[in-house]
A and B are shown apart, each in its own frame.
Chain A
Amino acid sequence: MFDFVSFFPRAVMQGIPLLFGSTGEILTEKSGNLNLGIPGIMYVGGISGVIGSFFYEQATKGSAMNGFLAVMIPILCSLLGSLLMGLLYCFLTVTLRANQNVTGLAMTTFGVGVGNFFGGSLIKLTGSEVPSIALSNTSLFFKVGLPGGNAGWFGQLFLSYGFLAYVAIIIALGASYFLNHTRPGLHLRAVGESASTADAAGINVTKYKYLATCIGSMIAGLGGLYYVMDYANGVWSNNAFGDRGWLAIALVIFTIWRPNVSILASILFGGLYIINIYLPTPGGQMAVKELYKMLPYVITLLVLIVVSLRKKREDQPPAFLGLSYFREER
């Protein structure tokens, strides 16, 4: 029997890292930067938070941890780590005008490498038997949900998540409002649609690209942090983050660049990601489960096909996506 009340919260928790990632990437892409480094940036966001909380836990060994610091230190470390990644990407693609695809892919490889390097180092430091770091104390602070989280099906479905989950939804709604109802949002979309037009209108293209990409990276980085601290109960092990970064990018296309749509879509993707646990395995063939895991990518492809067929201008990627802008080039 399919147990929705137990399935839905797990889908949401799978979806939240994707929501952070896709909101960040949508903001970035609206500035015309195709940041394929998002998987790496989310990875760095995760490990940076782990490093921060690791040292805080070490420092407070034995005594009680301050709840505020236990939360703020990892968050600030995570933001700083992903900000540095965003700055590096901007410097390469905006200032030096390097190819965005190549830079992004390199950033992903680099980010995963950085994460695994520091992850491995920390595991060595703890000298533990298993190849992972457990930050369970910090995790407890991240998992503080809303009151009534255990009360009945309503509480379980809507109130049981750690605070970062609600932050993700607020950020997505905020990003949506920002893009569609504010002047900087209009300017940002203009930069992504036609950088030369924006430039002629007196909009500082470089500033918008830097800001959108860096803020987008920081938002995406929080996805990595949420994954470790909340979803994985504070346990970091190398490569556990998996392909969630790529799913976040697929989600950007799936939502046709709309952060508010992404809230529901990320839960859908999260659900598809784990649905193999809830579906029967025909004939006991475990390999079939791997097929279920393909579902998010398959429906992303379907959305791409449908959107391309409809040819609606509003549903297309920003027109200057992937192009670097240089005023004097004609």
Chain B
Amino acid sequence: MENKCAIKMENITKRFGSVVANNAINMELREGEILSLLGENGSGKTTLMNMLSGIYFPDEGQIYIHDKPVTIASPKDAFDLGIGMIHQHFKLVDLFTATENIILGLEGKLDLNNARKKVQEICDRYGFDIDPDMKIYDMSVSQKQTVEIVKVLYRGADILILDEPTAVLTPQETEKLFAVMRNMKADGKSLIIITHKLHEVLEVSDRVAVLRKGEYIGDVMTKDADQQSLTDMMVGHSVTLNIDRPMPVNVTPRLKLEGLTVFDELGVKRLDNVSFTINAGEVLGVAGVAGSGQRELLESIAGLYPITSGSVTFYPPEGDTPQEMAGKDPMDIRRAGIAMSFVPEDRLGMGLVGSMGMTGNMMLRSWRKGKGVFLNRKDPEALAQRIWQELEVVTPSTNFPVRRMSGGNVQKVLVGREIAQQPSVLMTAYAVRGLDINTSYTIYNLLTEQKMKGVAVVYVGEDLDVLLELCDRIVVLCGGQVSGVVDARTTNKLEVGALMTRVGGGAAENA
């Protein structure tokens, strides 16, 4: 009994510059099924779906909707074909009611009473629980998501694409969403859910399609799959990268984390009783699916994130008495004589000032050093010149706004500056994201160089191949907890992949 295809994608390729985001993908969604699109961050899931919703246009390939070849050039085309996508970032007017948001952009005479009735009908039919007259600013995240889904249904969509819908939901809300999804399926709708959470895939979908690094790996019926087989498909086999990795020397503890627990502003637990040691002379990798607490971990060590409980103890290289860092802000940490460098994930947001040149950005680290109210411009200028030469930054001058440099050069400026502080702890988050191969290797070598100088290097990464070849040890995070610490030389991709999704490690709930 072969079902008809709601969507069929043939040889879809999408490139961004020289980066191939999707390479010759063949995929189909059958009518009346829930398909999970599984893959790690950067595997091209969202790009692929954006071509269905009209945000991107494929470079090559053909899309069929209900077996008819179509061209989707804009979100409106997608609407007209009955495709509705629920994005991770909601597009709602806070000041409007649910109903007003749902009918926004439609044509015809404004009849709010009628619209309200229709919204209520849709809610009753699928089991949504929202008040059509409630203002968006009074709603919880899950209610806002519901409004987005109702909006799509109101426009008559019969194919729904949900982009990581559970990332913002609590477990109870997730359950509710899944129940609604099953109702929609029973009503004949076809659904695609993008996710990287395996237990959700197994729970809600009929079939799983896996993407890895822009390639379509294959699909399996959910009833024939388990977490282990899906992990294998998702992470794939090891690739040899030949990153130079000398054996660490003089390994001594530098930072000790004990029972670190943090909550975000919504009161959700982001780190749960995290304990491990960061050693000097070692590159410590941090692995985990996106949002497992990597950002919170680095920021709470750097003094940027409020720590609820637990301790971060610093062991100075000179063998002085250990110092407690928890509860200190970055200024306190610096005053205490702890040389810490942090290369954040958001380079131009947290790391550098985009409209300033290299010199100005160097000054962000040294502005306190001038005499009185006057700045010392000489030293930062010299440092900028040095980084420009040594790291081969491509820029017309040291005063050229860094915002207008390419991603790789921006990262060189940032890493160069942080290393120049002669840190005893160097933390990097996704240091090679968006960089080409050559620049990536430059960054790897810089980190290894620091390690051999006796710096404690922390490398948060998403590419397991790199983690396995660059790092000495790897801490695996899952849902804000440490699910394992492994030796990078002896472990393999499958073991780390399993720890990331907590196979055999007990219930892995997102926090």
Residues in A whose Cβ lies below 8 Å from that of B96: 186, 189-190, 193
A186 touches B110 (CB 8 A): yes
Interface size on A, residues (CB 8 A): 20
B95 touches A319 (CB 8 A): yes
Assess whether B2 is interfacial by the CB under 8 Å rule. Answer: no
Mark B83-111 against chain A: 1 for CB-CB distance below 8 A, else 0: 00000000111111000100111111110
Residue-wise interface mask of A (191-209) relative to B, using a CB-CB cutoff of 8 A (1 in contact, 0 not): 0011011101111000000
Q: Is the CB of A190 within 8 A of B104?
A: yes
A187-B137 contact, Cβ under 8 Å, with A194-B93, A197-B93, A202-B76: no
B433 within 8 A of A: no
User: Roughly how many angstroms separate A193 CA and B95 CA in the complex, as a whole number?
Assistant: 7
Residue contact B104 to A313, C-beta cutoff 8 Å: no
Looking at the assembled complex, report how far the CB atom of A183 sits from the nearest CB atom of chain B, in whole angstroms. Answer: 4
B116 interfacial contact with A, CB 8 Å:
no
> Cβ of A313 and Cβ of B91 under 8 Å apart?
no
- Please give, as numbers and ranges, the residues of chain A lying within 8 Å of B95 by CB-CB distance: 189, 193, 313-314, 319
Q: Is the CB of B91 within 8 A of A196?
A: yes
Return chain A residues, CB-CB under 8 Å to B93: 189-190, 193-194, 197-198
**Chain A stretch 273-330: residues in CB contact (< 8 A) with chain B:** 313-314, 319
Given A186-B104, A187-B105, A203-B105, A197 contacting B92 (CB threshold 8 A): yes
Q: Does A201 contact B94, Cβ atoms closer than 8 Å?
A: no
Contact of B104 among A196, A197, A314 (CB under 8 A): A197
Instruction: Verify if A182 is at the interface (C-beta below 8 Å from B).
Output: yes
Known A183-B108, A186-B100, A197-B104; contact A202-B94, beta-carbon cutoff 8 A: no
Q: Is A181 an interface position by the 8 A CB rule?
A: yes
Q: Is the CB of B75 closer than 8 A to any CB of chain A? A: yes
The answer to whether A198 touches B110 (Cβ under 8 A) is no
Give chain A interface residues in 153-196, CB to chain B under 8 Å.
Answer: 181-183, 185-187, 189-190, 193-194, 196
A242 to B316, CA, bound (A): 71
- B residues within 8 A CB of A182? 110
Distance of A103 from chain B, by nearest CB (Å)? 22
B269 interface contact, C-beta 8 A: no
Most chain A CB within 10 A, of B100, B105, B107, is at B105
Which residue of chain A has its CB nearest to the CB of B151?
A: A201
* Residue numbers in A under 8 Å from B94 (CB-CB): 193-194, 313, 319
Say if the beta carbon of B328 comes within 8 Å of chain A.
no
A196 and B105 CA atoms in complex are apart in Å by 12
Main secondary structure of the interface of A (DSSP, over half): helix
In B101-140, the 8 Å CB interface with A consists of 103-110, 135, 137
Residues in B neighbouring A203, C-beta threshold 8 A: 104-105
**Which secondary structure dominates where chain B touches chain A?**
loop
The contact size tier of chain B is: 20 to 34
Across-interface contacts of B108 in A (CB, < 8 A):
183
- Most chain-B CB neighbours within 10 Å: which of A194, A200, A201, A314? A201
> Nearest Cβ distance between residue A329 and chain B, in whole angstroms?
12
Whether A201 and B91, one on each chain, are in contact in the complex, defined by CB atoms closer than 8 angstroms, is: yes
Which residue from chain B places its CB closest to the CB of A203 in the assembled complex?
B105
Bound: A181/B109 CA distance, A = 10
Report Cα–Cα, A183/B99, bound state, in Å: 13
Report A186 CB to chain B, min CB distance, Å.
Answer: 6
Shortest C-beta distance, B293 to chain A (Å), equals 25
Contact A198 B105 (CB under 8 A): yes
Q: Judge whether B91 and A197 touch: CB under 8 Å.
A: yes
Across-interface contacts of A197 in B (CB, < 8 A): 91-93, 104
* Residues of A197-226 whose CB lies within 8 A of B: 197-198, 200-203
Residues of the B chain whose Cβ atoms lie less than 8 Å from the Cβ of A319: 94-95
B403 CB → nearest A CB, Å: 12
Given contacts A182-B110, A186-B110, A313-B94, contact A198 B104 (CB under 8 A): yes
Q: Given the complex, which residues of A lie within 8 Å of B103, measured CB to CB?
A: 186
Q: Once bound together, how far apart are the Cα atoms of A196 and B89, in whole Å?
A: 12
| Shortest distance from the beta carbon of B103 to any chain A beta carbon, whole Å | 8
B107 engages A183 (CB within 8 Å): yes
Taking A183-B107, A194-B92, A203-B104 as given, write out 6 further A-B residue pairs in contact, using a Cβ cutoff of 8 Å, ordered by the A residue number: A186-B100, A187-B104, A189-B93, A193-B93, A196-B91, A313-B94
Closest 3 CB pairs of A and B: A201-B105, A183-B110, A202-B105
Q: A-contacting residues of B (Cβ < 8 Å)?
A: 75-76, 79, 91-96, 100, 103-110, 135, 137
Task: Pull 8 A–B residue pairs with CB atoms less than 8 Å apart, ordered by A.
Answer: A182-B110, A183-B107, A183-B109, A183-B110, A189-B95, A197-B92, A201-B105, A203-B105
